[in-house]
Every structure is written in structure tokens, then in C-alpha cells.
Chains A and B, each alone.
Chain A
């Protein structure tokens, strides 16, 4: 797909940041600060972001622990940080189908006083303004398609070629990708980032680590009558619509003017191959607790994104020659507190400090960049993550063992008899239909636990995708590469019943009639909301998510 090197332009920078999310923006701002504090020759810094405009692919609950923000931008209030509301009320419930049981106390990790409910889309857009004001080059609409190496050393990235048609031929507007060469590349490419995934595999950075465990977050933004829920209210639930064997829960965060974020996070380590997270979310909204909050309101946005929930033991080695990994890409998320923004920001800042020193010392070798790991170990990042290092792993043994361990870990500091607690990759938990359903094999083209869709409270996937603002140029190769579509119609259909048609929250995967009485896979790539679930959860691991043409993807305004 890539043209000869002769027609490729090259851009040289000192530090390249790939991914303009909270981690990447924090890294850029921290570099600009260090430059001002320490003087010396001006560093050239560039940020690459795949979305059309900054923040467009940002999706989170979101409740922000402002600890890193306070350090990075002490005058964030004067600078107009868009913090929708301070958290005033914390509620946590265990739900059964029709009832709710409040937890007698709010567990300390879920106490949110001092935190803020935010739109991470607006927050990152605000940060982007600060980054650009520092004169840093922020390139929106430019995905990085591959890392550039010199032996085992990362020397930059190549941006994606633009203007290739769906058959792989160059269009008249073809624009070859640019090689951006950097002394240090900071990968902030988010959960299951395509570059981080390739790097970790190539350099075996996950050796001796546990496999990452992910969850899928599905979220809607609602506008409800203004006096219904006090701004600053945070509600978390466990239990229904998930079963004891499924990890996760719902969230509902109330912002001013009747804006409400509501969502379901479900572990991507479920057993039942017929489980459909999007349908589970519809059931969640029909629960009396949620329904009473949303009734009469209007859904205004939809989105979905995976979360790295594995915690401390799953974080790969986050440095190598010429490269650092920060934020969700590295798995810096506290699944016990359901928070990752502050850790993304903090690791972005620490990566920036390491990159700055390394560039100044003219040594960006692995030995020098290792100081990033030391910085992490001496920071709140380790203090916070180490004590909850086995939390999601414990839930892979079921809800009750998970809850018991989580409670215990508050006393024991996270210790467990077998530490790290052994765990398999999430997709390996999925059972085959025959093992899960025995002789009662369900019709795999029909939902096992369907939800009633009324298009007021509950929606089908296609309607939801419409509300994600997703757009891709139609005439381009599919950015979802299924390496063996034969598996889909043969083995997978028999063994798992094509679970991609269920775990994808955007109706990208469909099994359609092949014309000979069998079904074949159809990939509706232009629906993709870039959540990465298929890349993560496919039981045969034959799906590769690669970035589509620049600017493609959702438009998470206000999310």
C-alpha cells in the first residue's frame, strides 16, 4: 500500500507525540513548560491525532480526579477549564431486575468528593487550545499507520497514505504518508493503540506481564428536564443487567442544564458467547432507577470505547530505545476507582520529563528512557495502582469473589495468596456454544435476551451509530482487516456463533446470506466508532484494527 520512499516527505522533530488525548496533550504541555523553565535550544514538538479535530474521538464517563491537572495547570480555573460540575453526591447501588439496594457505605475508592464531572471531549479541546498557544504543531486528521525503526530503535512514525480507493489503487488525489522522524516518540495512542500493539509484540515488552484485560464502555449523553437530577450527582451500579458471571456496571453522571451521561461498562472477559453489551445497556436503561432519570428526556449522543482494566500487573514495559508509552495505551487506568484520565495525564507528564532530559542529554537509549519507569514507580501512579493490582483479575472469578477481594484489598493493600492473581486474556474466557449452552444451542442470529426497542429510551445499534456522528470516506480500503474470513462462516459460526455481530456496539459486523444457503461476513467499516472491541475480543484473534483515512471516525461533541 505504501509508495516508493522517493515521493515521501520527511519531517524531523525532537519529540513526537502520537495521540492527542489527555496523555498526549499533557505530555505536550509539560514539554513546553520544561522548555520555558530550563531554557536552551528550542525543542521541536509535534502531536499527531487521527480525529478531524481535537477531542472528537474522546470518550469517557467522565469523572476527573484533578490531582494531575492541578500540577500541570495550577491556574486551570482561570484558564477556563471546562469542568461541568463538582461531584456533590455519590450513590452506589446493587441492582436486581426491578429493585435497587443501596450499598451501606460508599466504598472509599468510589468516593468522588473533590472530583469533577466533565465532558472529556470539551476538556481535551480546551487542552488542545493551550497546546497550540504554546506554538506546538498539532496535526489533527493524521493517523500514524506504522512505527519507523532503525534496528530495534524507534525513530518515528509514518502517517497513513491518503487517497487510496477501496480496491487499494491510488486515486488522483493520492497523498503519500509523511515520515516523521523524532529523537523520542511518545505513544499515547489510547486503549489497544495500533502502534503500541505492534511495538509491544515486536519488542516483547509484555514479557513477564499478565495479559491485559479490557472492558467495553457504551455511553449516551442525554438531556433530561433540568430539575430532575442535581448537577454533581454520581451514581454507580452493580448487578443487573449483568449477571454474576459478568464484570461491570452502570454509571450515571449529572451535569448542569439537565445534561446526563449514562453508560454501561462490561468486562471483555465474559463467558457467554451470546452476550451482547449493547443489548445489556438497553436493559440497564429500562431498569426503574435509570428509567426514572431518563424518562421524557432526549438522547443526544452515543459512543463506545474499550478500557484497559487489567491494572498494574498488565502494564507492559513502557520504554524502549527512542520510545515511551503513556496513558491508556500503557494500561494506566484504575478499574477500582473507574478512573484513568488523571493517570493518563500524569504518565504523559512523566514521559515528557523523561523525553526532555533524554533529548537534552542527547541520549534517547532504552537505558536513559528507563528513568520513565523510575518516575512512575516513585509517583502516585504506582501508589494508586499497586494497591488494587488484582481487582479485575479477581472479578474474572465471578462477582462475589471479586467483591470480596476488592473489599479485602482495602485492608491488605492488594495482597493475595497468589500474587499476581493468575488470569487468562479476556477473549479466552469466552466459552464455545456447545460448552455454554450444551444441547440447547440458541439460534445465533437472534438475541438470547432481546431488549424492546422503542427509540425513545432504547435504541438499536444503527440508530445509536447515527448519534455518534461517525463518518468515514466511503471509497477506501476497510480499516478492519479480518485475516481469515473463512473462519467466520465455518468454524466461528459453529463454535461461537459469530460473536463479533454482538460485541461490536456499532453494527460493523454482519453475517449476510451468501446466496448458497450459508452466511458470509459483511464488514460495514464506515460504522466503526473506533472502540477497538473487535481487535480485543475476537476469539480467533484474526481481526486487526488499523487507522482509516485521516479524520474518519466518530464526532463525540460534548461526550
Chain B
């Protein structure tokens, strides 16, 4: 099975975010980055499928130069080779532009299966996978919790709301977006890191990149809701005003 895994480099969850001067994205100059968590599970699932059914795992990332570190990490964990669609603008591009860049890099390779994480820890649209499937002309299934290869296709388990699951079958080639927790991630090994040095990272420049369909207008931190209001007057008057506020404004009493 020839499997592609699309991975993204995101700011670490522990990073204390700061908004940039134009208030359209975070300040990422001195931030610390890591592999997007659901993508790590997608990679692990691909490696397990390869171990079971043999084949090849190719990791692909669309992002600025720094994204090569997550590709190297994926190679150390066992991916066979990597494709880096490199452009600075891809760091905060929308799902449409990212999927377009990935599709151009993947199309000619004729993968049997394409895996992505369910969503990214930064923008979290959860759209790159489905748009990519559309651009590659493949069927897709989202929020996948289990993957079984069957004669001529796949049987997959989707997570629904309220603790429900759904089993469905797809023909190959197909694209799946993988939910975190589908498997247990393996540790990187010294041998893996050494082997990764000899593996190829092919750099691709996006040709005519799709113009973004969306524009980030502004981002901001959640506003803190804590507001203190002093109620003037005698204790009796203040208590009356307080009850009125609790009933009419806060609506916590009838």
C-alpha cells in the first residue's frame, strides 16, 4: 500500500501566544514548534498499515522552511521519504490554499491512501483533508478511529456525536482524516534518527499557488468576563438592586 501522510508544523501547546502587530496572526518569530498532534496519530496509523500490508509511507508538509524539522521527525519514526512544499505564505494560509499546494505535490504519485490529522492545533478548521480529497478526486471519510484494509478497499470506524460510532467501507484510493488517540504513538529511536539522515526530503515550490479563499481579519484573546460592579445605597437598597440584577441580568433566580 502506497500511503501519503500530510503533516503540519504548529506552535507548541505550551507556548504563551502573542498576537502580531497587525493582529492577524500570532507572533511566531521566537515560538517553539512541534508536529500537530492528530497528524502524529495519522503517521503512526500509516506506519502500522505498512508494517501489516507492506508498501511505502511518504510524509508531506506544506509550510515554511522550518517545517522540515517535523518531516525529519517523521522520517526518524519510520516514514520512507518526505516531500516539502515550501513557501513562507503557507504558514498561515487557509485550508483551500494548503490543500491546493498538497494536491499538486501528491497528484502524480498515485497514492492508494492519503491520511491527514483530523484538524490542526492552530487554525483548527478541519478542512484540509476533505478539500484535498476533492482535489485528488478521491472519496474521503473523517474522524477515523479504526482502519482495516479489506479486499479492494477499507473498512473504517468513524466517531459520531454522543458516544456513537459508524462503520463504513470505502474503495481505494481514499483519504481519511485521523482522530487523536486512534493508536499509541511510538517513541523515536536513536537508530531511527540516524537512518532518517539518509532519507530524502524532496523540496517542491508551489507553482501558481491558489489564491486564498479566506482572509484573516483579526484574531484576539478571549475577553475576560469578570466585571465588578459596586451597588450603591444602604444595605437594604443594595440587596434589592442585587436581587433585581440576579433575576433580570444574570437570570440565575426566578
| Chain A interface residues (CB < 8 Å from chain B) | 9, 11, 52-53, 56, 122, 137, 139, 141-142, 159, 162-163, 171-173, 175, 178, 180, 298, 300-301, 466-467, 469-471, 550, 555, 557-558
Contact = CB atoms under 8 A, between A and B. Distances in A.
Given A470-B14, A471-B14, A11 B190 contact: yes
Interface string B1-21: 000000000001111101000
Contacts of A469: 12, 14-16, 32
B49 to A, nearest CB: 17
A137 B12 CA distance: 25
Contacts of A53: 32, 69
B16 to A, nearest CB: 6
Contacts of A56: 32
8 contacts: A9-B189, A9-B191, A137-B194, A173-B184, A180-B190, A470-B14, A471-B12, A557-B30
A519 to B, nearest CB: 30
Contact of A175 (B31, B69, B186): B186
Given A142-B190, A301-B16, A469-B12, 9 more contacts: A11-B190, A163-B187, A173-B185, A173-B187, A178-B189, A180-B190, A466-B16, A467-B16, A557-B30
Given A56-B32, A469-B32, A557-B30, A162 B14 contact: no
A444 B15 CA distance: 34
A175 B32 contact: no
Nearest to A161: B187
The 4 A-B residue pairs with the shortest CB-CB distance in the complex, in nearest-first order: A469-B14, A175-B187, A162-B187, A558-B30
A552 to B, nearest CB: 12
A141 B192 CA distance: 13
A467 B16 CA distance: 7
A144 to B, nearest CB: 12
Given A172-B184, A467-B16, A470-B14, A137 B32 contact: no
B103 interface: no
Contact of B190 (A52, A139, A470): A139
Contacts of A555: 12, 14-15, 32
A134 to B, nearest CB: 13
Contacts of A558: 30
A11 B189 CA distance: 12
B106 interface: no
A178 B188 contact: no
Contacts of B191: 9, 11, 178
B26 interface: no
A220 to B, nearest CB: 12
Contacts of A175: 186-187, 189
A138 to B, nearest CB: 9
Interface in B69-98: 69
Nearest to A159: B190
A56 to B, nearest CB: 7
B189 to A, nearest CB: 6
Contacts of B188: 141
Contacts of A178: 189-191
A558 B187 CA distance: 27
Nearest to A554: B14
B195 to A, nearest CB: 11
B14 A171 contact: no
Q: Which of B12, B15, B31, B69 has the most CB of A within 10 A?
A: B12
A555 B188 CA distance: 19
Contacts of B12: 469, 471, 555
A56 B14 CA distance: 13
B32 A139 contact: no
Contacts of B16: 300-301, 466-467, 469
Contacts of A159: 190
Given A139-B190, A467-B16, A557 B31 contact: yes
B193 interface: yes
A550 B16 CA distance: 22
B186 to A, nearest CB: 6
Given A9-B191, A467-B16, A555-B14, A173 B186 contact: yes
Nearest to B34: A52
Contacts of A141: 188
Contacts of A172: 184
A168 to B, nearest CB: 17
B183 to A, nearest CB: 10
Task: With a 10 A CB-CB cut-off, give which of B12, B15, B186, B190 has the most chain A CB atoms.
Answer: B190
Contact of A550 (B30, B186, B187, B194): B187
A477 B115 CA distance: 34
Interface string B213-239: 000000000000000000000000000
Given A141-B188, A173-B185, A550-B187, A557 B32 contact: yes
Interface in B170-189: 184-189
A122 B190 CA distance: 24
A163 B191 CA distance: 17
A171 B30 contact: no
Nearest to A549: B187
Nearest to A300: B16
B177 to A, nearest CB: 23
B21 to A, nearest CB: 11
A464 to B, nearest CB: 11
A186 B252 CA distance: 66
Nearest to B33: A53
Contacts of B184: 171-173
A301 B189 CA distance: 31
A250 B239 CA distance: 50
Interface string B189-212: 111011000000000000000000
Interface string B32-49: 101000000000000000
Nearest to A299: B16
